[in-house]
Structure 1
Amino acid sequence: MTLFEEHPLRQSLNDEVHSRPPIPLRGPTRISYLAFVHDSGSSDQEHHHLQQLARQLQIALPETAKGHLLLDAGDFRLKWERHNEFSSYTFLRDVDDAEPEDSAALLAVPAAWRKAIPGKLMVASNVAVLSAGKHPAEARAAQLADPDRSIIVTRFADGAGWLFTDFQIHDGFSRFTIIDDGLDRRQAGRNVQRILEIETYRMMALMAFPVAKAISKTLKAAEDELADLMDAMSQTAIANDERDILTRLTRLATEVEHAVARTTYRFGAAAAYYRLVQQRTAELREQRHAGYPNITDFIERRLAPAVNTCAAIARRQEELSARIARSSQLLRTRVDIALQQQNQELLGQMNRRAKLQLRLQETVEGLSVVAITYYASQLVNYMAKGAKYVIQPLTPEILTAITIPIIATAVALGMRRMRKALAAEESGGH
């Protein structure tokens, strides 16, 4: 292998496929899960905060450069993962069947440290993994039957596990009860991770819903204004009014594009998170328990409408932006046509003025021939007077009269040749 030049990303890309594996469960377990949205550089503080925990527990300092780690503190295990928008902390504590079901793994974590976790809390869940021998699932399902409460009871992993939850927040935590009815260690870990990811991605997808509700009012106002501008554009016939409408359209386009720029990422993220929720739900391989909804039902009834609303608002934004662009282009075309008509009128006026100037020039040229002839004949007259004895029997007056037609003809021909030369030069330049 030393003979080959290795790509610098080869090892890291290969390790990425094997990173963040689920933690195998070793029997009855209590799990506390926290997800914190990054805020004001909180992701940069996580490294020092995790090292502080390691020092406090007197274990090896963790390396966080890869964005995930697993700490074994004896009393509990911690799995930390950093994602694009949030970081998750999964605390696991092995228990026996005598442990109260409502006990939380988070209580084993130093209180001061857990209270100082950087970021803003988005998801907090407690999971109790119980054995089917001590906690029969069918009996629990019968006890939970309550028409006034929406309880989710579902079997997953092809019936090897049971899940009980209501997706509600109680005392700051959502609660999940899992009964192991034949799960192996790794299978249990994978499905617990999927359930926690469904809860996390569900909340992250819903972050776009308040944005969609807020932007819908702005969109409605912009759509109404665009309709008013289109009505005004169909009725106006004055260029100044059209330019005013174009100015308002440009301002409206700026506002809409600003809204699109502010919300595109959030709406795109919501769609991506929703796809992850659907994928994780499908991977659970649920089996419906009669009389109870399962996770798929909950997602389709509660989450899908909100995500569809976000997608609809995103489409409305894009369509409104395209409509404004088309309207602006149409109005610009009208303004350009009006300007071209004005230019044609100006060119026509200039052409008429040029013709008048040409006629005046021709008139002036005729007068110029007369003037030049007059002055030239006077010169001949003066010369003839000086040589009157030489030109006898002609007199200066007779000689002057004879030269006048000759001079006039020569001047006229000279000016005609000059016009032809200028016209030829101008046509050659074009």
Structure 2
Amino acid sequence: MPQLPPDYPGRFELADEVHARPPEPLELPSRATYVAVMVDPVDRESERAHVVRLFEAFGVEPPDAGLTQFSASLGELRIKWERHGEFSGYVFLLPGLSPTPFTEPATTRLPAGWLETIPGQTIVAAHAKLVAGAEAVPDPQALSDHFAGNIVVGSSIGEGAGYAFTDFKIHADGCARFVLMDRGLTPRQAGRMLQRLLEIEAYRMLALLALPMAREQLPRIVQIERSLETLTGAIAHEGADEERLLQELTRTAAQIEHELTATQYRFGATRAYAELVRTRIAELREVRIPGTQTIEEFMARRFTPAVATCNTVSQRLHELADRVAQASGLLATRVGIAREKQNQALLASMNRRAQLQLRLQKAVEGLSMAAIVYYAAGLVGYVVKGGKAAGLPLDAELIVGLSIPVLAGVAYLVLRRARRHLASSERDS
């Protein structure tokens, strides 16, 4: 055997993914019960413990810990368990049929009290049975006793290898009902068809979990749209209080973001489950029975519009968020322009004040130079007078008068040099 490079982490798990959740083969005749429960993550351990108790009651070795799916025989009863992202599914299979339709389901073989104490909340429960099909096309009216007189939905499936019927209603026992008729189905094929029917029911219910949320959101969306219309109308008028409008838009944006956060997981799940429903229906390969709605037609009549409602509400919330962002951007631009004008006016005012200060500074410098010359001339006078008192032949008034221009020139040069040094320091900084 040739040696291979080291395996990529998870290589075998990824390769086995396409083999996950295989259908259970069905022998003719058979009956099945499917129960799907919504399970909180904190209840996962108690869920496994509950399954272990069932195996112990039948004296069968429980499945290994950590498994997300398994199937096992509990005497004549067969159980299949699957853990999904937010729910768990239980399928109970039993050979043979009850004396009257759906009166003795496979769950009657479970220990008393075990089924109702499964951790979680029931989202789907359904009974199904596999029976032999006649050569002639079955009359849906003849199946009315199976569905309490309700309108029957069904078709030929598997390119004529069988028939599938249901009414998509929850009956008095809390379960939906499916009848699968064999006209050449292999045990594996019968198991696949039953699995698809049960998955259609499960994913249909899970997809519609967002519908009450969507209906609750519609009035809020209308209210937000009206509020946004009023705000955008106010933005279009000059002289509006931009600061107040910006605060209102911020509050509206926060409200929309809250609604998006609260709903988008459920709406995203609806899109995913609805696609699974469409896929499973396509895998049935239905052929119409004259006078009877196919499963695909039935779903298109009510299920598809319900999913469209959820998608529309989700899309409207996203569009509202975009519109609020655009309005906020426009208003922020207006506020920015107004502030820019205020800043320009303030800078112009500061420039005028600076010019006045410069003029005042020049005036003060002129006065300062006069004062300096005056005091310097006084000092020169004192020096000359001192020399005259010492006997030097000096004319104090003449010398002081001649020193004044010289002192003024020196003071001017000193002040000029000081201004240049200050200007150079400001440019360097």
Relative to structure 1, the CA distance from residue 391 to residue 427 in structure 2 (aligned partners, 3 Å threshold; closer, same or farther) is: farther
**Structure 1 residues 427 and 139, CA gap change in structure 2 (3 angstroms):** closer
State how 1:241-260 maps to structure 2 within 5 Å.
Answer: 241-260=241-260
Post-superposition offset of 1:2:
6.5
Per mean C-alpha deviation after superposition, the further-off stretch among 109-118 and 122-131 is 109-118
Q: Which residue of 1 aligns with 2:51?
A: 50
Partners in 2 of 1:141 and 1:286 — Cα distance?
A: 16
What is residue 32 of structure 1 aligned with on the other side? Answer: 33
Q: Are 1:201 and 2:203 counterparts?
A: yes
1:281 counterpart = 2:281:
yes
Deviates more, 1:150-159 or 1:6-15: 6-15
Partner of 1:143: 142
| Matched residue, 1:190 | 192
Aligned to 2:427: 427
> How far 1:235 sits from its partner (Å)?
2.4
Q: Residue 39 and residue 295 in structure 1: after superposition, are their counterparts in 2 closer, same or farther (change >3 A)?
A: same
Q: Distance in 1 between matches of 2:125 and 2:139?
A: 24
1:309-328 equivalence runs, <5 A? 309-328=309-328
* 2:271 aligned partner: 271
Note the C-alpha offset of 1:63: 1.9
Query: 2:345 is matched by which residue type in structure 1?
Result: E
| Counterpart code for 2:304 | A
Q: Which deviates further from its counterpart, 201-210 or 390-399?
A: 390-399
**1:223 aligned to 2:225?**
yes
* Equivalent position amino acid for 2:142 in 1: Q
- Counterparts of 1:362-373 in structure 2 under 5 Å? 362-373=362-373
- Structure 1 residues 394, 170: closer, same or farther in 2, change over 3 A? same
Tell me if the contact between 1:233 and 1:242 (Cα under 8 Å) persists in the aligned partners: yes
TM-score w.r.t. length of structure 1: 0.94
CA contact (8 A) 1:197 1:280 kept: yes
Q: 1:50 to 1:149 in 2, by over 3 A?
A: closer
In the TM superposition, what are the counterparts of 1:149-160 in structure 2 within 5 Å?
149-160=150-161
2:350 corresponds to:
350
- Give the CA deviation at 1:3: 6.4
Alpha-carbon distance between aligned partners in 1 of 2:246 and 2:315, rounded to the nearest angstrom: 24
Instruction: Tell me, in whole angstroms, the C-alpha distance in 2 between the residues paired with 1:309 and 1:6.
Output: 46
Distance across 1 between alignment mates of 2:324 and 2:106: 55
For residue 170 of structure 1, what is the aligned residue in structure 2? 171
Q: Does residue 13 of structure 1 match 2:8?
A: no
Aligned partner of 1:70 in structure 2 is 71
CA gap 1:234/1:391 in 2 versus in 1, 3 angstroms: farther
What amino acid is aligned across from residue 23 of structure 1 in structure 2? E
Aligned-partner Cα distance in 2 for 1:99–1:160: 26
| Distance apart, 1:43 and its partner CA | 2.5
CA distance in structure 2 between the aligned counterparts of 1:346 and 1:101, rounded to whole angstroms? 89
User: Taking structure 2 as the reference length, what is the TM-score of the superposition?
Assistant: 0.94
Report Cα offsets for 1:221-249 as digits up to 9, x if no partner. Answer: 111111111122222515xx210110111
Task: Decide whether the 8 Å contact of 1:369 with 1:412 is kept in 2.
Answer: yes
Aligned-partner Cα distance in 2 for 1:4–1:145: 62
Letter in 2 for 1:95: G
Q: Deviations over 1:119-164 (max 9, x none)?
A: 100101000111125xx66354353589x95311311000111112
Is the partner of 1:170 in helix, strand or coil?
coil
Residue aligned with 2:66, SS? coil
Distance (Å, rounded) in 2 between the aligned partners of 1:108 and 1:389: 141
Q: Given residue 336 of structure 2, which amino acid in structure 1 is its aligned partner?
A: D
Contact 2:384–2:394 under 8 Å retained in 1: no
Contact kept in structure 2, 1:78 and 1:92, CA below 8 Å: yes
Deviation at 1:10, TM superposition (A): 1.9
The letter of the residue matching 2:140 is A
In angstroms, what is the RMSD of aligned CA positions? 1.9
2:339 is matched with 339
Instruction: Write the distance in 2 (CA, Å) between the matches of 1:210 and 1:262.
Output: 13
**Which residue of structure 1 aligns with residue 397 of structure 2?**
397
Name the stretch that deviates more: 313-322 or 34-43: 34-43
Residue 423 of structure 1: how far off its partner (Å): 2.0
Deviation per CA, 1:83-120, whole angstroms, max 9, x where unpaired? 00110000000016x84332311111112111111110
Native 8 Å contact 1:384 1:396 kept in 2: yes
Instruction: Give the fraction of aligned pairs with identical amino acids, expressed as a percent.
Output: 42
* Alpha-carbon separation, structure 1, partners of 2:311 and 2:346: 52
Cα shift readout 1:317-370 (whole Å, capped 9, x = no counterpart): 000000000101111111111111111111111100111111111111111111
Tell me the residue number matched to 2:295: 295
* Residues in 2 aligned to 1:193 and 1:64: alpha-carbon distance in whole angstroms: 25
In the alignment, residue 321 of structure 1 is paired with which amino acid? A
CA contact (8 A) 1:38 1:120 kept: yes
Instruction: Please give the alpha-carbon distance, in whole angstroms, between the structure 1 residues aligned to 2:295 and 2:160.
Output: 14
User: Is the contact made by 1:36 and 1:86 (CA closer than 8 Å) also made in structure 2?
Assistant: yes
Q: 1:360 to 1:308 in 2, by over 3 A?
A: same
What secondary structure, in the 3-state scheme, does the structure 2 residue paired with 1:52 have?
Answer: helix
Question: 1:411 & 1:223 partners in 2: Cα distance?
Answer: 75
Taking the aligned partners of 1:428 and 1:118, their CA distance within structure 2 comes to 77
Where does residue 211 of structure 1 map in the other structure? 213
The Cα shift of 1:390 comes to 6.9
Could you list the runs of 5+ residues in structure 1 that have no partner in the other structure? none
AA paired with 1:207? L
Rounded Cα–Cα distance in structure 2 between residues aligned with 1:178 and 1:112: 29
**What SS does structure 1 have at the residue aligned with 2:303?**
helix
Greater shift, 340-349 or 408-417, is seen at 408-417
Give the corresponding residue for 1:86: 87
Aligned partners of 1:22 and 1:193 also within 8 Å = yes
* More moved, 148-157 vs 137-146: 137-146
Q: What is the Cα deviation at residue 178 of structure 1?
A: 1.0
**Amino acid paired to 1:205:** A
Indicate if the aligned counterparts of 1:32 and 1:124 stay in contact, CA closer than 8 A.
yes
What is the letter of the counterpart of residue 38 of structure 1? V
Q: How many residues align?
A: 423
* Structure 1 residues 177 and 250: CA distance shift in structure 2, 3 A: same
Structure 1 window deviating more from structure 2 (387-396 vs 4-13): it is: 387-396
Which blocks of at least 5 consecutive residues in structure 2 are unaligned?
none
